[in-house]
Chain A
Amino acid sequence: MQEFSVIGKRLPKVEGYDKVTGMATYVADIKLPHMLYGKVLRSPIPHGKILHVDTEKAKKVPGVKAVLTGEDTPKIKWGAFIDDMHVLAFDNVRFVGDEVAAVAAVDESAAEEAIDLIKVDYEELPTLFDVFEAMKSDAPKIHEKGNVALHQKFVKGDFEGGMKEAAYVFEEDFTTPIVWHAYLETMGAIATYSLSGKLSIWLSTQTLFMARQRIARALGMRIADIRLIQPSVGGGFGGKSCDEPTAMICGLLAKKTGRPVRLINTREEEFQASRPRVAANIHLKMGFRKDGTIAFKDARTVNDNGAYSAKAPATTGVTLTRIDTLYRFKSIRGEAILVYTNKVPTGAFRGFGNPPMHFAVEQMMDMAAKEIGLDPTEIRLRNATQVGDVSIHGWRVNSCALSDSIRKAAELMNWKEERAHKKAHQGLGMGCFIHVSGKRHFGNYDGSSAVVKVNEDGKLTIFSGEGEIGQGAFTVLSQIAAEELGVPAKDVEINVGDTDTSTYCHGAYASRLTYIAGNAVKAAVADAKRQLFKMASEMLEAIPEDLVSKDAKIFVKGDPSKALTVSEVARACLYREGGFPVIGRGTWDPPSELQTKDTRDGNTSGAYSFGTQMCKVEVDPETGKVKVLSFIAAHDSGKVINPMLAEGQIEGALQQGIGYALCEEMAFEDGKVMNPNFADYKILSADDMPEKIKIHFVETCVEPTGPFGAKGLGEPGLVATSPAIANAICDAVGVRIKGLPMTPEKILKAIKEKNKAAR
């Protein structure tokens, strides 16, 4: 086992001092001289044609400096995968919350007054809120090309043969709702525009460079004429990926007025018009052989795109296929349909389309286990993917401790004993998951790059454009850099995300930063280390290959008595004739492949994470209310760089996952979000969370391609949470709930139906 000095340590977050003292600066905390305040007018109707926009009264409000409508925008269509949005609507509005006009004024009240005075005449158009209605061939069209945004179908392996082999067959429908990220900081931007043509935006985002590309495209600008700077970001969870036009509107207002403009969403605007999790309608059929191995899987999902395409074209493919590498599927059939409706556009949310299919398949695994007479752990062990497997989609599994995670979770839960002796109305349930560490789709590149500067005092400054949104990327990347050069973690600093000072980076999504950016930073530091060792070898009269570095010193292996500090070597590089500052550059693109469009073949990620979650619940049979008593998460994330932060990722994901399971749902009426605030959209508080939570990292199998063996862990914490709870509810009261959230109403109804049938 490799000995580490920084990797695996529970170090506090590098930006922590600023966060505990209130010094951390989020976008709404920034105030620039002569700054204006922006506001957006949104569509109050779900579908309509804009006949006329009257801005005359708004323009006359004292203090108003600009009023923009769709006519003032470049009218370029943009989007992450399908170009179907405009910065401001000028022809049709397609959901309640669609951006129609914007104002910049000297203060917020003037901006609000002006917004109220903009008069828009609409011709109302027929509305569609249900995917099955919207996909009918005679349904009114939301977009010119029709209401089906994406349709994928495939058959793989010997599907007919698999059907014949099945001794047990199950067929069910499952539904999952639109849920919202609920990051505590609403999205916002501050933009300044220089007449030289440079647009600078401080943006609450998790994908700086991709945001820059989209802004450039939507505004018809050159990419490098836009500078994006990432302040502290108050959470993202996929929602702050610039899939909606806040940054573009703010930029246009700054351009029009020549003054800095700050545009911050209200909480209600966030609910109405950000990009929440895609809702799925899954029809699932699975067959099992007598021994419990899976004979076939036949899945169809119809997902709700909402009014425009953000990330749902990608999340929908993930809903259909990602789970196909969790078990050793040999014959599968799949179909995914993504349908436009007149609701809020859906997008990326932690798990990226993966949780809905886990909710379905992991319940069916339990249904099969019960029928066949196997323990839920045993049926999964008999099907679990193993190291070295190449899955039915061609995914290469270099590391996998799924089976170990099942056994470890069972041990920590005391599974068999607890199940045998549980009290009335208590139940235990489990769920397994697979997730990725990066996903190749944008430009057939899933890499990362970094530059590291070695300062004269031996301290490293890392320039990475991946950014930090609270998940701990900066700390983990600093630890990787420190370990690579053999310096203490405090000798590493990382710059704030800034597109002008760092090289291209995709940003935070797909649990990719530890694995991919970690390797890029490691490579950059290795490059700097080579330069330092070359100089040190001259100074120590040794060959570079014989040198090692430890505790910020460089010396000949086995002879630490004649050591040079990193600082001495860095200074020696610089202060001499023809000297140079030590600058390392690193780049790394994982060994993955672009998936084929229809059949979704190809090794989508360089590494896959696995794990098992188990929980114990108590269901009140009188009210249907579920209390989660304890939770175990045994995850395979490879080598864990910082266990304290890693535990925090899982604990936080559980808060979102338990909420997804039991109470979270955006409620719509005629396309309007009816619970657009934290009083009506319930997220779990401290008292709602189980007191007994145990996070365990199964480090029995490290990832050979990962930095020091690490792989991604940000998203997986909620992927198997909802089926684990569903299975526990079933174990407790004998009812299977197939629609999320599993509210007391649904559970009570199911209990009553069950009792009625028994009579």
Chain B
Amino acid sequence: MKRKILLNINDEDYEVEIDPNRLLVDVIREDIGLTGTKKGCEIGVCGACTVLMDGKLVSSCLMLAIYAAGKKITTIEGLFKNGELHPLQKAFLDYGSFQCGFCTPGMVLASKAILEENPHPTEHEIREGLNGNLCRCTGYAKVVEAIQAVAGK
């Protein structure tokens, strides 16, 4: 039986009618069409599907969409506001912190969560904070640099 739920994503309300077993990542991508959130490993290990829920990092491939009803969800599309890139997005560009870009939405959101929890993290704290987000292209060095640059401002 399908259920009607209200999802608040990037400060906009979306009413969707879904089977209760649908994953949040699939509803965000397929039903709502916000494809910036990626599916990487399907088991909550790689972080490509990372979204923020009430400010906290969540693997949207591990969560049923119905549990997200009533929460504030931020996806990568929510960071570009009033025609301006988020400082982290700008830093990722300037420091070359991505290559294929597939992990980047999750990586940017994880970086945002790191800095919101701790505005001046050490390099070690940054690296620990990124542990839930795998990247196969960059070796992480330039991701760390970008976060440090934003933290230093």
Q: Which residues of A pack against B, CB within 8 Å? A: 10, 12-13, 15-26, 28-29, 31, 181-186, 232-235, 237, 266-267, 469-472, 644-645, 647-649, 651-656, 677-679, 683, 685-687, 689, 691, 693
Contacts and interface: CB of A to CB of B under 8 A. Distances in A.
A657 to B, nearest CB: 10
22 contacts: A17-B85, A19-B104, A28-B35, A28-B39, A29-B29, A183-B100, A184-B102, A184-B135, A234-B38, A234-B102, A267-B41, A267-B43, A644-B142, A647-B142, A648-B99, A652-B135, A678-B41, A685-B133, A686-B127, A686-B135, A686-B140, A693-B141
B40 A184 contact: yes
B139 A687 contact: no
B127 A687 contact: yes
B124 interface: yes
Contact of B128 (A29, A687, A689): A687
A678 B134 contact: yes
Contact of B99 (A17, A28, A472): A472
A237 B136 contact: yes
Contacts of A234: 38, 100-102
B93 A17 contact: yes
B45 A645 contact: no
- With most chain A CB atoms within 10 A of its CB, the pick from B77, B137, B144 is B137
Instruction: Give the dominant DSSP class at A's interface.
Output: loop
B130 interface: yes
Contacts of B103: 184
Nearest to B98: A19
B98 A20 contact: yes
A651 B134 contact: no
A13 B96 contact: yes
B139 A235 contact: no
A218 B75 CA distance: 41
A655 B139 contact: yes
Contact of B140 (A23, A237, A679, A689): A689
Given A472-B99, A686-B143, A687-B131, A648 B137 contact: yes
Residue from the set A26, A31, A183, A678 with the largest chain B CB neighbour count within 10 Å: A678
A12 B92 CA distance: 9
B101 A470 contact: yes
B100 A20 contact: no
A26 B102 CA distance: 8
Contacts of A16: 92-93, 98
Query: Chain B interface secondary structure, helix, strand, loop or mixed?
Result: loop
Interface of B: 29-30, 33-43, 45-46, 48, 75-77, 79-80, 85, 89-90, 92-96, 98-105, 108, 123-124, 126-128, 130-144
A678 B46 contact: yes
B127 A185 contact: no
Given A20-B101, A685-B130, 19 more contacts: A12-B94, A20-B92, A21-B77, A22-B105, A183-B136, A234-B38, A234-B100, A235-B136, A266-B42, A647-B142, A649-B99, A652-B139, A653-B139, A655-B136, A677-B41, A678-B41, A686-B140, A687-B131, A689-B127
B96 A22 contact: no
A20 B136 contact: no
A651 B93 contact: no
Contacts of A19: 98, 101, 104
B35 A25 contact: yes
Contacts of A186: 40
Nearest to A28: B39
B136 A23 contact: no
Nearest to A648: B96
B53 to A, nearest CB: 17
A509 to B, nearest CB: 16
Contacts of B36: 21-23
A233 B134 contact: no
A237 B3 CA distance: 42
B139 A185 contact: no
Which 4 pairs of residues, A with B, have the shortest CB-CB distance? A22-B36, A470-B100, A19-B101, A234-B102
A498 to B, nearest CB: 19
B136 A182 contact: yes
Given A184-B40, A185-B40, A645 B131 contact: no
B77 A22 contact: yes
Given A19-B98, A686-B126, A687-B128, A235 B137 contact: yes
Given A20-B93, A28-B39, A679 B134 contact: no
A691 B42 contact: no
A692 to B, nearest CB: 10
B50 to A, nearest CB: 11
Contacts of B46: 184, 678
A176 to B, nearest CB: 19
A654 B43 contact: no
A22 B29 CA distance: 12
Nearest to B100: A470
A267 to B, nearest CB: 5
A269 B67 CA distance: 29
B90 to A, nearest CB: 8
Nearest to B146: A20
Contacts of B30: 31
A235 B34 CA distance: 21
Nearest to A22: B36
Contact of A652 (B95, B99, B102, B104): B99
Contacts of A652: 99, 135-139
Contact of B96 (A185, A645, A678): A645
B136 A22 contact: no
Nearest to B46: A678
